[in-house]
């Protein structure tokens, strides 16, 4: 076998796992389809992450620290997009679009992707007013009206960023109370302090259509008193995540998250799952790092070293 363990995904869960496996003396490889860091690379101000000296820190800083620690520990970054996983004599075979690798164990850390709104023609507005990164394009909506769809952590985090740029931030939420954690709510409330008119919350409402010829010009909001047209320059969908588990063939729950036992072992022998791709993930970076530590321990036990 070439590798003791291969970790699929260089998000924070994958890098934490890989670092701890390599530090335990295991020959460890990682496979990443895009760029290291995963979901948090576009976040400028992290919440619930213990920054040094209490200063806010960015997702790309955290990702850079973890990739450096993994490399220093001896992790080999192989690259490629994982497309399949199978048992092989003495271990596992991981297929990627850049070739196949043999490993005694595989840790799936392929995370999750943003869930689309699920409305007709949505994809036509990508890069034309439909955005998943307020930190990246906030300056482009300076003085404009924008809409964030959702009521959880990422919706309020995006709205807080947009508060610095937009004239009005509309938050369209299908529920009648926000689901975000207290720390994220505090960030959100601070962002609109002294500017209450800059925030308009549409409770028990959904966005059913996006309108505009060259880009986003308006959304149709369905609420308790019927449908209304809301003129906006940009739409930020934050309606949850879809686990990137389809390529694995492993057992999942109804949401597509990989089912694991309390050692993070998945349904195929020698395979473990960590972070946002697994059912029961706590949702924060510190949960992803804790998963990494546990998975590394489980891999060591499985390999009896």
Ligand X SMILES: Cc1cc2nc3c(=O)[nH]c(=O)nc-3n(C[C@H](O)[C@H](O)[C@H](O)COP(=O)(O)OP(=O)(O)OC[C@H]3O[C@@H](n4cnc5c(N)ncnc54)[C@H](O)[C@@H]3O)c2cc1C
Tokens 């490629």, located at residue: 80
- Rounded least distance, CB 279 to ligand X, Å: 12
Residue 67 interacts with ligand X (CB under 6 A)?
Answer: no
The answer to whether residues 284 and 120 touch, using CB atoms and an 8 Å cutoff, is no
Residue 76 interacts with ligand X (CB under 6 A)?
Answer: no
Residue of 34, 140, 227, 251 interacting with ligand X (CB under 6 A) = 34
Site for ligand X in 85-114 (CB under 6 A): 109-112
- Rounded least distance, CB 34 to ligand X, Å: 4
Q: Which of 115, 108, 94 is nearest to 258 (CA)?
A: 108
Question: What is the token pair recorded at 113?
Answer: 């992707």
What DSSP element (H or E) covers 71? helix 59-73
The answer to whether residues 149 and 203 touch, using CB atoms and an 8 Å cutoff, is no
Residue 43 interacts with ligand X (CB under 6 A)?
Answer: yes
**Calpha distance 108→13 (Å, rounded):** 9
Residue 151 interacts with ligand X (CB under 6 A)?
Answer: no
* DSSP for residue 172: E
- Rounded least distance, CB 233 to ligand X, Å: 20
Residue 276 interacts with ligand X (CB under 6 A)?
Answer: yes
Residue 188 interacts with ligand X (CB under 6 A)?
Answer: no
- Rounded least distance, CB 304 to ligand X, Å: 27
Which among 20-28, 37-45, 159-167, 263-271 is the span making contact with ligand X, rule CB under 6 A?
37-45
**Calpha distance 73→207 (Å, rounded):** 47
Rg (CA), the chain: 21
Binding-site ranges for ligand X (CB under 6 A): 8-14, 31-34, 38-40, 43, 46-49, 81-82, 109-112, 154, 157, 244, 247, 275-276, 283-285, 288
């Amino acid at each position: 076998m070439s590798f003791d363990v291969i970790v699929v995904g260089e998000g924070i869960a994958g890098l934490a796992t890989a670092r701890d496996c390599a530090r335990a003396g295991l020959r460890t490889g990682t496979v990443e389809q895009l760029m290291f860091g995963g979901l948090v690379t576009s976040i400028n101000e992290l919440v619930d992450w213990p920054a040094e000296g209490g200063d806010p820190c960015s997702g790309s800083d955290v990702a850079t620290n973890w990739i450096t620690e993994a490399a220093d520990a001896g992790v080999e970054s192989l690259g490629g997009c994982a497309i399949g996983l199978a048992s092989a004599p003495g271990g596992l075979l991981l297929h990627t679009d850049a070739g196949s690798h043999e490993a005694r164990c595989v840790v799936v850390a392929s995370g999750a992707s943003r869930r689309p709104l699920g409305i007709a023609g949505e994809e036509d507005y990508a890069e034309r007013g439909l955005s998943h990164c307020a930190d990246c394009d906030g300056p482009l909506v300076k003085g404009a009206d924008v809409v964030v769809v959702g009521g959880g952590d990422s919706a309020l985090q995006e709205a807080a960023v947009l508060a610095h740029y937009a004239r009005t931030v509309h938050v369209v939420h299908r529920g009648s109370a926000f689901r975000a954690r207290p720390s994220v709510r505090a960030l959100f409330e601070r962002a609109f302090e002294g500017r209450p008119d800059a925030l308009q919350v549409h409770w028990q409402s959904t966005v059913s259509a996006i309108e505009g010829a060259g880009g986003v010009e308006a959304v149709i909001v369905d609420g308790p008193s019927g449908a209304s047209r809301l003129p906006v320059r940009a739409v930020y969908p934050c309606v949850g995540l879809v686990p990137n588990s389809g390529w694995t063939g492993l057992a999942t729950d109804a949401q597509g998250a990989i089912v694991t036992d309390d050692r993070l072992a998945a349904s195929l022998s020698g395979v473990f799952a960590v972070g946002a791709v697994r059912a029961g993930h706590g949702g924060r970076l510190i949960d992803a790092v804790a998963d990494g530590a546990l998975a590394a321990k489980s891999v060591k036990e499985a390999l009896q070293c």
